[in-house]
Amino acid sequence: MSLSPRVVLVHRATELDELPAHHGTRGQAAFFLSTRGGSIDEVEARHAASRAAIAEVGGAIPIDWRRGSVERSDLSRFLFGPEDIIVIVGQDGLVANAAKYLDGQPVIGVNTDPTRNPGVLVAHAPADAAELLHTLDNIDYRTMVEATADDGQTLRALNEIYLGHPSHQTARYTLSAPDGPPEAQASSGLIVATGTGATGWCRSAWLERHSPLSLPSPSDGRLVWFVREAWPSPATGTSCTEGQLTDSPLRIRVESDHLVAFGDGIEADYLSLTWGQSVTVTRSARTLNLVR
Q: For residue 35, give every residue at least 6 positions away whose Cβ sits within 8 Å of its Cβ, in sequence order, or none.
A: none
Q: Which pTM was predicted?
A: 0.89
Check residues 150 and 168 and name the one with the higher pLDDT. 150
String of DSSP letters for 115-169: TT---SS--B-GGGHHHHTT----EEEEEEEEEEETTS-EEEESSEEEEE-TTS-
Of the candidates 197, 247, 199, 202, the residue with the CA atom closest to the CA atom of residue 221: 247
Q: How far is CA 138 from CA 13, 95, 134, in A?
A: 30, 18, 11
Residue 38 has pLDDT above 90, yes or no: no
Three-class secondary structure of residue 200 per DSSP: coil
Of the candidates 165, 155, 201, 167, the residue with the CA atom closest to the CA atom of residue 185: 165
Q: Kindly state the average pLDDT of the residues 28-36.
A: 84
Residue 21 has pLDDT above 80, yes or no: no
Grade residue 37 by pLDDT with cuts at 50, 70 and 90. Answer: confident
pLDDT digits (tens, 9 = 90+) for 236-271: 999 999 999 999 999 999 999 999 999 998 888 899
Grade residue 179 by pLDDT with cuts at 50, 70 and 90. Answer: confident
- Can you tell me the distance from the alpha carbon of 35 to that of 208, in angstroms, rounded to the nearest whole number? 38
Single-letter code of the amino acid located at 89: V
Residue 39's pLDDT is 83
Q: Which percentage of the chain shows pLDDT scores above 70?
A: 99
Residue 166 has pLDDT above 70, yes or no: yes
Residue 151 has pLDDT above 60, yes or no: yes
> What domains lie within the chain, and their CATH numbers?
6-137 (3.40.50), 144-284 (2.60.200.30)
Residue 41's pLDDT is 86
Grade residue 173 by pLDDT with cuts at 50, 70 and 90. Answer: very high
pLDDT digits (tens, 9 = 90+) for 209-221: 999 999 999 999 9
Residue 40's pLDDT is 86
Three-class secondary structure of residue 207 per DSSP: helix
Grade residue 36 by pLDDT with cuts at 50, 70 and 90. Answer: confident
Residue 23's pLDDT is 83
